[in-house]
Structure 1
Amino acid sequence: MGKIRSDKKTFFGIKANGTVFVTSLLIVTILVATTLIVGKPMEKYFSSIQTTVANNVGWFFIMLVNALLIFSLFLGFGKFKHIRIGGKNAEPEFTKLGWFSMLFSAGMGIGLLFWSVAEPIFHFDSNPFLEDPENKVEAAKEAMGVTFLHWGVHAWALYAVVGAALAFFTFNHKLPLTIRSVFYPIFGEKIYGWVGDVIDIVSVIATLFGLATSLGFGVQQVNAGLAYLFDFEISITVQVILIVVITFFATLSLILGIDKGIRMLSEWNMRLALFLLVFLLLVGPTLFLLKSFVQNVGHYAYEFFELSFWTNSYQGVGEEKNWQNSWTVFYWAWWISWSPFVGIFIARISKGRTLQEFILGVLLVPTILTFLWLSVFGGSAIYQELMGNSTISEAVNANVATAIYYLLEQYPLTTFASIVTVLLVGSFFVTSSDSGSFVVDMLTSGGRHDAPKGQKIFWASMEGLIAAILLIGGGLTALQTASILTGLPFALIIIVMCFSFYKSLLKYVEENPEAAKPHKEKK
């Protein structure tokens, strides 16, 4: 690719790209300040904006995530599958356990805990694929199938494509670990000018608001858990206090670095999550859950294409349209707005993996774990509904964040399981915040891995502040709207990114034909 220089700069004594740092901060400040000043009426505005955008570009999000899934499979099984990130002789920096743990913690984490009980119950009660609402068996199958759609291979394919592109340009072409680097084959040295700045600014804003959405969900669930266990008040004030406390711990983890902080905490998350998963599997309806997991996967596979490409084009504007805007379109926009964060993070930890290993690892392992988690937690909730116990449905309708605690109430050792859940939500909160701060700091500092601790603390604090203000100004609607609005411009960036990535892979193989051949292990 010719001589490629670094994009490391300083700005008033700090190690940052001044244009990206200041512009991102200014835009974010204006948006959150407006939300705070206007106050409660913002919720109505957010709802109107969300509906307008979702109605007009929902089809585009659906088309894009399907195209990215196809492209990811091409990368993992096509002629580029043997290309190794970092070069022919590069070795992985982390063990597979550490790698998978960080993938899962960064990619899903809080959101999965928040929705794993509530979403299947919502879809069990109502979804546009259900022909007979009185048929509870059919309702259960459709509920799990739709939930699998939202948390399955489409989300991870998005992360896989963005992550693979960033890892390839960073470790194979020695470019800075920022989104702009992927556009070098198209723009050349112009990526170090205003074109690259615009790309990184959009990436920073998408990351901050996408992350704020998850942090908002997480803090609501921690508050609900504390209210359930210790009779805490459920209020915005308590949630803001929790954001401050948990952001403090996230900052400590961030300062310790990837290996001592983020990796160790991610592995702790995985152990705690697996413990909670096995616990509920054993104390819950074990045989039902194991059987339903198998059937859920089969049903998802059977209806995969219909679910994936459904755009509600024939029903017109009505309840079903609102359903898709609130669920599928929101999820695709949320995952897209998360993709610069997750993509940069998994690129940073994936040196030494072949493209095939990378795609399979990112696409399949987290998806299987996610499906198992949803089958156990969502399945346990649906089991109660099938048995005639509507406690969980009532809890979901009253306050989504409490759903998982009311589920645990139906089974033995409720207090113990609830305490573990609160700890796990808090721990996922910390890993999402610290890894997100790590990524934002790299984006604003031109791809530096050695930015000062003060900059990391600053961005960790900003993420907590954004989540808090969005909760104050518009609640869940504000969080969802922020994801959709920031996901749209980054979706356009992803399209160009794929073209650039493919173009660079072709040239790389042409110049290094051995790179596309299987690696022969030394005896």
Structure 2
Amino acid sequence: MNEEVHFRPKSEEYTSDYKAGQDNIQVLGMDIHNPVFTTSAVAILAFITLTLIFPADAKAILEGARTWSIETFDWLFMIGGNVFVLFCLLMIVLPVGKVRLGGAAAKPEFSRMSWFSMLFAAGMGIGLMFWSVAEPVAYYTDWWGTPLNAEAKTPAGEAAAMGATMFHWGLHPWAIYGVVALALGFFTYNKGLPLTIRSAFYPLLGERVWGPIGHVIDIVAVLATIFGLATSLGLGASQASAGLNFLFGVDNTISTQIAVIVVVTSIAIFSVVRGLDGGVKILSNINMGLAALLLLFVIVAGSLSGFFSNLWLTVSSYTTEILPLSNWIGREDEKFYSGWTVFYWAWWVSWSPFVGMFIARVSKGRTVREFMIAVLLIPTVVSAVWMAAFGAQALDQVQSGTGALANGLGDVSLAMFQMLENLPMAQITSALAILLVLVFFVTSSDSGSLVIDSITAGGKVDAPVPQRIFWAVLEGLIAGVLLYGGGSEALKALQAGAITTGLPFTVILLLMCISIYKGLKTEV
């Protein structure tokens, strides 16, 4: 740390004189931070071009890199995930939990309901739609390994399936998001640093974060965000198209999938132009309302007493298995451990710059304690209720030999619709599910565009409208072009590339924990 920072008063110890966007240039109505914006754009263009020319080679290389990082550094991903959970829980109980993001007089910008709706929709709303049915069925039927080597299609296998599903969607992923979100929220709102990933490292690097080291951190964050969003948009279009074919007989072709991408991107552009209050907040509230309606229907249409029994099974299994599932030493369930858990941890970490920065953007005025309860504990409770309704209902159908799921997991993208098919009003609820998937994708695209805008504008939160449109359009273009030019092979290559960024970001997040604590101590 340089002398200028060292001799500041303690309360300002980690406050820089650097201002958001002070190195920016104005180009075509956009306010861009040149090293980050230009390098990111060129890297994205080069990646797309090479992937389209050599889709199979790109997939092989990137999947090889992903496999190497997961298999070689599985211990790092697992240790990191455990550290993040413990760190976030400590933030709730330690005296630093009283610190308010933005200072003692700061007031929240959004109501608690809108705040939670936005952070949940950006965090994993779409994932719960996709995997809440498919994942428990996969574990229970040994589609790709069983948790802790539990015997498939047995009561023990059912408990392990629900516990492992909750493990992947509970405390650990939200702790990963919470670390990034708290770091950015604190150093932006309490220390006056720009809202960009590099700011979280100011206590460790001092003024050097505004140089090449900081540029690299932000560029990797942009690439991880844009590739992760484009991958999800492309794969989500495939799921929506499969759902339309399943329900209404619409041809499940590349043309249909690209049409879905065009529709989602168009709505996302409209929303991102309107900003947080007029766009993302409204869509997130709609999302939560529709999700609550679908959840209530599944609970009532099944069995209310059965739901509470399944909720107990889910929570108790998660509680008893969280420690064995968190272990990385001597695991005998290698297929499940590497193929699911370590893969998930890498995926959550690769998404953390995007989700964490967005959560930070909407969390000004909250205390650290309130922040962590909302980011860590409440989503875990909501996920448990959701899994108990959807996942356990799917397992009931498997066990009773009802419907397509009785034959095991086939097309993952159809699992949700196959489960709803055996409940009343299947056409209506399945149409609602498709709508919910699409709206979740729109909110993810919006949130991602706002995050990338901020990073590529040097940390400014009010980037010009043309810049927001540029990134929203680019997300759709990447997904559409790769889907059309390279099909699923190109998208899988993109996904592998995004997940590979989880390795360096795991180290970055561990360093963030140190930065956060050093910074928070100056406020207490």
TM-score by length of 2: 0.92
- Tell me, what secondary structure is at the counterpart of 2:95? coil
Say if 2:511 is the partner of 1:496.
yes
The CA distance in 2 between the partners of 1:114 and 1:98, in whole Å, is: 23
In the alignment, what sits opposite 2:88? 72
The CA distance in 2 between the partners of 1:457 and 1:404, in whole Å, is: 32
In the alignment, what sits opposite 1:385? 398
- Out of 207, 230, 242, the position equivalent to 2:225 is 207
- Tell me, what secondary structure is at the counterpart of 1:176? coil
The CA distance in 1 between the partners of 2:42 and 2:312, in whole Å, is: 49
- Contact 1:46 1:474 (C-alpha < 8 Å) held by counterparts: no
In the alignment, what sits opposite 1:403? 415
Say if 2:464 is the partner of 1:446.
no
TM-fit CA distance, 1:479: 4.9
Say if 2:344 is the partner of 1:331.
yes
In the alignment, what sits opposite 2:190? 172
CA shift digits 1:173-219 (9 cap, x unpaired): 11110011111122222222112111111111111122233323322
- Tell me, what secondary structure is at the counterpart of 1:15? strand
CA shift digits 1:121-180 (9 cap, x unpaired): 101111343656365211111111111111000011111111111110111011110011
Alpha carbons of structure 1 residues 314 and 370: separation in structure 2 relative to 1, 3 Å: closer
Alpha carbons of structure 1 residues 134 and 351: separation in structure 2 relative to 1, 3 Å: closer
Q: Which runs of 5+ in 2 are unaligned?
A: 1-12
In the alignment, what sits opposite 2:112? 96
Alpha carbons of structure 1 residues 475 and 325: separation in structure 2 relative to 1, 3 Å: farther
- Tell me, what secondary structure is at the counterpart of 1:80? helix
TM-fit CA distance, 1:39: 2.7
CA shift digits 1:413-454 (9 cap, x unpaired): 000001101110010010000110000110010111221111
CA shift digits 1:204-243 (9 cap, x unpaired): 1111122233323322221111111221222334222211
- Out of 458, 468, 479, the position equivalent to 2:470 is 458
Say if 2:433 is the partner of 1:415.
no
In the alignment, what sits opposite 1:486? 501
Alpha carbons of structure 1 residues 20 and 266: separation in structure 2 relative to 1, 3 Å: same
What amino acid does structure 1 have at the position aligned with 2:477? L
Say if 2:205 is the partner of 1:187.
yes
- Contact 1:124 1:140 (C-alpha < 8 Å) held by counterparts: yes
Say if 2:38 is the partner of 1:22.
yes
CA shift digits 1:269-324 (9 cap, x unpaired): 0000000000111112332122111121011101111111245x354xxxx43433
The CA distance in 2 between the partners of 1:439 and 1:48, in whole Å, is: 29
- Out of 362, 367, 377, the position equivalent to 1:349 is 362
- Contact 2:233 2:479 (C-alpha < 8 Å) held by counterparts: yes
- Contact 1:254 1:262 (C-alpha < 8 Å) held by counterparts: yes
The CA distance in 2 between the partners of 1:145 and 1:287, in whole Å, is: 20
What does 1:62-461 align with in structure 2 at a 5 Å threshold? 62-126=78-142, 127-129=145-147, 131=149, 133=151, 135-310=153-328, 313-315=330-332, 320-389=333-402, 391-392=404-405, 394=407, 396-397=409-410, 399-461=411-473
- Contact 2:198 2:217 (C-alpha < 8 Å) held by counterparts: yes
The CA distance in 1 between the partners of 2:328 and 2:209, in whole Å, is: 37
CA shift digits 1:70-104 (9 cap, x unpaired): 11111111121101111111111111001110111
TM-fit CA distance, 1:46: 4.1
In the alignment, what sits opposite 1:59? 75
Alpha carbons of structure 1 residues 263 and 38: separation in structure 2 relative to 1, 3 Å: same
Structure 1 residues 266-275 or 487-496, which shifts more?
487-496
Alpha carbons of structure 1 residues 500 and 110: separation in structure 2 relative to 1, 3 Å: same
What amino acid does structure 1 have at the position aligned with 2:76? F
- Contact 1:40 1:473 (C-alpha < 8 Å) held by counterparts: no
TM-fit CA distance, 1:339: 0.7
- Contact 1:213 1:482 (C-alpha < 8 Å) held by counterparts: no
Q: Report sequence identity in percent.
A: 43
The CA distance in 1 between the partners of 2:392 and 2:162, in whole Å, is: 8
What amino acid does structure 2 have at the position aligned with 1:117? V
The CA distance in 1 between the partners of 2:81 and 2:488, in whole Å, is: 30
- Tell me, what secondary structure is at the counterpart of 2:102? coil
- Contact 2:137 2:408 (C-alpha < 8 Å) held by counterparts: no
Alpha carbons of structure 1 residues 185 and 131: separation in structure 2 relative to 1, 3 Å: closer
- Contact 2:141 2:152 (C-alpha < 8 Å) held by counterparts: no
The CA distance in 1 between the partners of 2:171 and 2:99, in whole Å, is: 22
What amino acid does structure 2 have at the position aligned with 1:260? G
- Contact 2:269 2:472 (C-alpha < 8 Å) held by counterparts: yes
The CA distance in 1 between the partners of 2:313 and 2:19, in whole Å, is: 51
Q: Which runs of 5+ in 1 are unaligned?
A: 510-515, 517-523
- Contact 1:330 1:480 (C-alpha < 8 Å) held by counterparts: no
Alpha carbons of structure 1 residues 314 and 296: separation in structure 2 relative to 1, 3 Å: closer
Say if 2:25 is the partner of 1:11.
yes
Alpha carbons of structure 1 residues 256 and 111: separation in structure 2 relative to 1, 3 Å: same
The CA distance in 2 between the partners of 1:421 and 1:352, in whole Å, is: 34
Alpha carbons of structure 1 residues 279 and 205: separation in structure 2 relative to 1, 3 Å: same
The CA distance in 1 between the partners of 2:173 and 2:40, in whole Å, is: 26
- Contact 1:222 1:425 (C-alpha < 8 Å) held by counterparts: yes
Aligned length: 503
In the alignment, what sits opposite 1:512? none
- Tell me, what secondary structure is at the counterpart of 2:340? helix
Alpha carbons of structure 1 residues 218 and 190: separation in structure 2 relative to 1, 3 Å: same
TM-score by length of 1: 0.92
RMSD: 1.8
